[in-house]
Chains A and B, each alone.
Chain A
Amino acid sequence: MTNKEVILEYCGVVTFAKIDRMLDRLSEMPAFRQLRRNIQKQLYGIFVECIENIYKNTGNGRDNLNINKKLPYIRLGKQNDKFCISSGNIIANKRINNLKKRIDTINHLDREGLKSAYMEILDQETLSAEEGAGLGLITIALRSGNKIKYNFTSLDEQHSYYEMKIDVSGASSNQ
């Protein structure tokens, strides 16, 4: 029998102030507070990278014209023996190929490979926006210890809806 539980879910425009409030709310939630501290930190770290990822993709007016078509969302849930963080936001189609390549490359790396890639990006003099996004994705993979699942659904000629799903093990022994 599948045991599903939503710990925190948000659907709507993501602003920096909203991120602050959401993280405050998460930290105060009994379902979150009762988790082991290392699991809390692991989930918090992935949640921040995912919500900041949405903010970077949709914030500062980017894609505002399309915001009503499909709103961003983020969800932290628990299903049987694992936690799951899933997110979605609109993305320009021209960015999809690079993003797919980046996630596929990350998903093919083992932990040592991820660490090397992380250190290589960190050690650069300056980071482009794309490299910054790559660092966030590597951080998600390192913190979760699992592959990043993703999906793109076409909305129109210029935009798609980008969804990401990250599983985190350890829900069965978390309390």
Chain B
Amino acid sequence: MKKVTINPTSNTPKVILDPVNNIFEISGESRPFDVPSFYQPLLTWLDEFCQELSKIKSNSGPIDFKFNLEYFNSLSAKYILDLCKKLYKIYSDGHKINVIWQYESGDDYMFESGQEMSKISKLPFGYEEIRI
């Protein structure tokens, strides 16, 4: 599958979806001008990735998916949750996936947001506190 690389801007996060090198990352700030238009292609990509994986009996190693968000607005939260739901589909299909939710030290709101995303999507998260 073709990898996705989106460079960050002041209002959109950096995105890497790279199955060959097992780098999956969404990081930075998320408050795009048009939130659905930014996230919809990523959701579609994950759907296709999920179909690709279903053709493989067992994947060689776990998928490492990292969220390192500094800030996201309320509508982005909805789409980040949708991404987590797609990742849960991969997980529930029997593929190993490590989701790491990074948050800045002292940013309880971001930490709790990760817990809520994990709870709703039923996808287990690992948490990493980043000291700045």
Chain A positions near chain B (C-beta within 8 angstroms): 16, 20, 23-24, 36-38, 41-42, 44-45, 48-49, 52, 115, 118-119, 121-124, 127, 132, 135-136, 138-139, 142-143
Contact = CB atoms under 8 A, between A and B. Distances in A.
A45 B132 contact: no
B75 A41 contact: no
Given A20-B11, A23-B10, A52-B31, A135 B106 contact: no
Interface size class of B (residues with CB under 8 A): 20 to 34
B50 to A, nearest CB: 18
B73 A48 contact: yes
A119 B115 CA distance: 11
Interface of chain B: mostly helix, strand, loop or mixed: helix
A17 to B, nearest CB: 9
17 contacts: A20-B10, A24-B10, A41-B109, A45-B71, A48-B73, A52-B31, A52-B73, A119-B116, A119-B119, A123-B81, A132-B78, A135-B75, A135-B77, A136-B73, A139-B73, A142-B109, A143-B109
B33 to A, nearest CB: 5
Contacts of A143: 109
